Structure 1
Amino acid sequence: MTLMSILGFALAMFILTATPGPGVLAVVSQSLRAGFKSSIVMIAGIVTGDLFYLTFAIFGLSFIARSISPLFTLIRIAGGLYMIFIGVRAIVQKEPGELSEGNGRKGSSTYLSGLFLTLSNPKVVVFYCGFLPTFLDLETLRFSDGLIISALVMTILGTVMLLYAKLADYIRSLIRGPRSMRLINASAGGFMTAAGTLLVAKTVSR
């Protein structure tokens, strides 16, 4: 594995992560709704999902992902509809108090939301099982190379997502009062609904 291949992969990973998509929208929504700490849990789930597909690609198991493609299609649609449900519920919610840090969704539920969001994201599937081999020779990849790539994925993906979450949390901290908090709730619900709609639309259009 050469330095150029590592840099090429790192750049592609950064572009994939920084480009707004279902993952970014979900993290921003979570941070707006329940605060920065809650979004960290979701980001951990997202990173886990990416490492899952990275492992698939490194060990030459991308054919498994293709062979169970119908199952992933159902997961994508179900995940998208669930996100739309959460978003709509947040939009129509009348009690802004539910947005407080301590009243956010349970950690396990938030983590699983991030995990399944990544597992059902077509962009992530295509990147690891399709584009990754163009940057790296997976057949000659050593164990140490795999560790380096995994570290890059965790660092780049985690950092970019944390920046999005921190920005959303900063905006949240500037807005006070019941009316303003309801506005945040509606905005967060809009982000989540958009993420779910985007996920379902991409799945159906394939």
Structure 2
Amino acid sequence: MTFYSIAGLSAAMFVLAVTPGPGVFITVSKALASGFRNTLPVIAGIVTGDLIFLLFAIFGLAAISETFETMFLIIKYLGAGYLIWLGIKLWRSHPEKMEITASKKHRFLSGLSITLGNPKVILFYLGFLPTFVDLNALSSLDVFSIAFIVSSILGAVMSFYAYSASRARQLFKNERTQKQMNEIAGSVMIGTGSLLLYRT
């Protein structure tokens, strides 16, 4: 990979990462509900899902996503259902109980399911990467570099969204406003889960 291909890939990945989508919505809503730190496992799950599909694309494993289409569909339903459940839970919660008590493992899986529930991501990478690199002539270092660029930029952008949302949450201390933020975050989660189901 040349400096120009790395720079071009990084710039394009940044633009794509900041574009609002299910990953951004769940990140922001989680940060509004539970703060920045509790959102990190969700971000890790989102990044891991992207890396899995990225490696599928690089190594020509697009057929795998078709072979396991049913499995990805199940993951989509489970992820969507989980998001809707969290959203309803937030709507019904009291401000003093606004922290979601799900374990780090469950938060990670919710982020992972957002990406793995959409196997079309691998087709996106198959169409996106050849613009900057020759997929048939990548060295091990090139693969590592691409994975590092994708994970770093996606992780940084999601972390920025999460931090900004958590800061907004901290500005409002009164009970009524916190309840409204719970409802906003819950609505975003329900909407994101419903969108995943709608796209099935």
Question: Do both share a fold (TM > 0.5)?
Answer: yes
**Structure 1 residue runs of 4 or more that deviate by more than 6 Å after TM superposition:** none
Q: Does 1:137 align with 2:137?
A: no
- Distance in 2, Cα, partners of 1:104 & 1:160: 25
Residue equivalent to 1:85: 85
The alignment's TM-score, normalised by the length of structure 2, stands at 0.91
C-alpha contact 1:42 1:110 (8 A) present in aligned 2: yes
C-alpha contact 2:46 2:115 (8 A) present in aligned 1: yes
Between the two proteins, the alignment pairs up a number of residues equal to 200
Instruction: Evaluate the alpha carbon distance shift between residue 123 and residue 159 of structure 1 in structure 2; reply closer, same or farther with a 3 A threshold.
Output: farther
* 1:17-32 paired onto structure 2 within 5 Å: 17-32=17-32
| Matching residue within 98, 105, 109 for 1:108 | 105
Q: Residues 122-180 of structure 1: CA distance to partner in whole angstroms, max 9, x if unpaired?
A: 55333224433343211110001011111101211011001100111011001112212
C-alpha contact 1:46 1:114 (8 A) present in aligned 2: yes
Residue equivalent to 1:60: 60
Percent identity reads 44
**Unmatched 5+ residue regions in structure 2?**
none
In the alignment, residue 18 of structure 2 is paired with which amino acid? A
Aligned-pair Cα RMSD in Å: 1.8
1:104 Cα deviation (Å)? 3.6
**Unmatched 5+ residue regions in structure 1?**
none
1:192 Cα deviation (Å)? 0.8
The alignment's TM-score, normalised by the length of structure 1, stands at 0.89
In the alignment, residue 154 of structure 2 is paired with which amino acid? L
- Distance in 2, Cα, partners of 1:115 & 1:157: 13
- Distance in 1, Cα, partners of 2:31 & 2:40: 9
Q: Residues 80-124 of structure 1: CA distance to partner in whole angstroms, max 9, x if unpaired?
A: 232122212211x14222224xx5421111111111111113553
In the alignment, residue 188 of structure 1 is paired with which amino acid? A
